[in-house]
């Protein structure tokens, strides 16, 4: 009996200590602006703009495919306690608007980072350009907008500016610092854009084929490349046997030597296609989210895009200048 009492007492003491510790921690942190973001590019941009002056966190747990994310109660509490909430669009995070309805909009500022971006309609699935399949009339992706806006680096600049506007409004005292950081980031993005344009200007192939869901439409349009993916915008749809075969034919007829695979998701289908057509697999990161190891290494959006450029140059057999 006495040992039981002892256990109960010590547990209570620990709980109390933990709670007071928590509140103290929160009080300290609350002097800084709390920013919650949804996807990795927004997190990375906000983190750079914030510097030391604000605390930026990302909702998606490492490794999770964002299309299948649903917020937990804790996440909603985190959002309502923060001073600034940043998301991309209702196409990418349809759940964001639902949460926001339930939060107190007077204390929380919301940034729709995709505001003012020119959206593309998504869908260049393989098989759609083949006549005779008869599925053109029932194209259920026709109405769907491609949500991967950050993969056009001029859009990325728009996103940075939207985030900056949110920061300045939420924390005017630090506005000059935020502006400087954003300007430096925009300069790096412009430089990245220039390197992509130069690096992809003289390639043996202008077609890149992708064994995942439709992600790189913006990137392809900006640098004048042909892009075909196995699946549509939804990462959950399953391809038919006919679509797989169409992709294999496309790989063979276009004469590419590499097939690109998406990040985080299992590459089984891509590997099957590559094996069938006798080509190799290269990674192309859509930057939706990072795996745990990459998070711990602190990889940034621009680094990811540099790796992508290297892989694209290899895959398309580009001459580097």
Partner 1 sequence: MNILEILSYGFIQRALLAGTLIAVLCSVLGVFLVLRRLSLIGDGLAHVTFGSTAIALAFKLYSAASLLVSLPVVLLASLGILKLTEKARLSGDAAIGIVSAVGISAGIMLASVGGGYNVDLLSYLFGNILSITYEEVLIAAGLFCVVMLLLGLFFNDLLAITFNEGLARVSGVRTNLINAVLVMLTALSVVLAMKLVGIMLISSLLILPAVSALQLARSFKACIALAALQGCCSVVAGIFVSFLTNLPTSATIVMLNLLFFGASCGLRRLLGAKSSS
Minimum distance, C-beta of residue 289 to partner 1, in the bound complex (Å): 9
- Regarding 123 and contact with partner 1 (CB under 8 A), the answer is no
Among the candidate windows 1-9, 11-19, 64-72, 313-321, which touches partner 1 by CB under 8 A? Answer: 64-72
Burial 96-132 (b: 16+ CB within 10 A, else e): beebbeebeeeebbebbbbeebeebebbbbbbbeeee
Write out the DSSP string of 277-306.
Answer: HT-EEEE----S---HHHHHHT--HHHHHH
Among the candidate windows 40-48, 77-85, 112-120, 236-244, which touches partner 1 by CB under 8 A? Answer: 236-244
- Regarding 63 and contact with partner 1 (CB under 8 A), the answer is yes
Report the distance separating Cα 212 and Cα 233, nearest Å.
9
> Which residues between 280 and 299 bind partner 1 (CB under 8 A)?
291-295
Rule CB under 8 A: choose which of 24, 105, 121, 133 binds partner 1: 133
Report the distance separating Cα 105 and Cα 17, nearest Å.
33
| Count of chain residues binding partner 1 (CB under 8 A) | 35
- Regarding 268 and contact with partner 1 (CB under 8 A), the answer is yes
Rule CB under 8 A: choose which of 3, 27, 28, 68 binds partner 1: 68
Report the distance separating Cα 48 and Cα 180, nearest Å.
10
Minimum distance, C-beta of residue 283 to partner 1, in the bound complex (Å): 12
Closer to partner 1 by Cβ: residue 131 or 241: 241
Rule CB under 8 A: choose which of 55, 276, 303, 306 binds partner 1: 276
Report the distance separating Cα 219 and Cα 182, nearest Å.
22
- Regarding 239 and contact with partner 1 (CB under 8 A), the answer is yes
Q: Which two tokens stand for residue 242?
A: 């006919």
Q: Which residue has the tokens 């006549």?
A: 131
**DSSP letter (8 states) at residue 113:** T
Cβ neighbours for 283, distance < 8 A, ≥ 6 positions apart: 260, 261, 263, 307, 311
Closer to partner 1 by Cβ: residue 31 or 266: 266
Q: By CB under 8 A, name the binding residues for partner 1.
A: 61-65, 68, 72, 127, 133, 135, 237-245, 248, 264-266, 268-269, 271-273, 275-276, 291-295
């Amino acid at each position: 009996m006495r040992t039981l009492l002892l256990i109960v007492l010590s547990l209570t003491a620990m709980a109390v200590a933990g709670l007071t510790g928590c509140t103290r921690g929160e009080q300290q942190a609350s002097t800084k602006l709390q920013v919650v973001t949804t996807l990795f590019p927004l997190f990375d941009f906000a983190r750079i703009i914030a510097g030391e002056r604000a605390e930026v966190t990302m909702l998606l747990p490492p490794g999770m495919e964002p299309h299948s994310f649903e917020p937990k109660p804790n996440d909603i509490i985190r959002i309502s306690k923060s001073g600034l909430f940043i998301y991309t669009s209702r196409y990418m995070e349809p759940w964001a608007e639902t949460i926001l309805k339930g939060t107190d909009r007077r204390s929380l500022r919301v940034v729709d980072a995709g505001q003012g971006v020119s959206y593309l309609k998504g869908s260049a699935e393989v098989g759609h350009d083949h006549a005779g399949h008869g599925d053109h009339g029932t194209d259920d992706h026709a109405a769907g907008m491609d949500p991967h806006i950050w993969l056009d680096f001029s859009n990325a600049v728009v996103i940075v500016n939207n985030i900056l506007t949110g920061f300045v409004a939420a924390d005017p005292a630090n506005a000059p610092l935020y502006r400087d950081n954003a300007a430096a980031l925009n300069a790096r993005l412009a430089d990245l854009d220039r390197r992509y344009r130069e690096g992809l200007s003289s390639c043996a192939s202008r077609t890149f084929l992708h064994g995942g869901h439709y992600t790189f439409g913006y990137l392809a349009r900006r640098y004048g490349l042909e892009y075909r993916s196995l699946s549509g915008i939804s990462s959950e749809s399953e391809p038919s046997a006919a679509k797989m075969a169409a992709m294999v034919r496309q790989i063979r007829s276009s004469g590419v030597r590499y097939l690109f695979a998406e990040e985080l998701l299992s590459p089984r289908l891509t590997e099957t296609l590559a094996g069938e057509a006798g080509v190799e697999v290269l990674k192309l990161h859509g930057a939706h989210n990072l795996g745990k190891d990459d998070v711990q290494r602190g990889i940034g959006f621009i680094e990811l895009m540099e790796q992508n450029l290297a892989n694209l140059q290899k895959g398309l057999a580009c001459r580097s200048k």
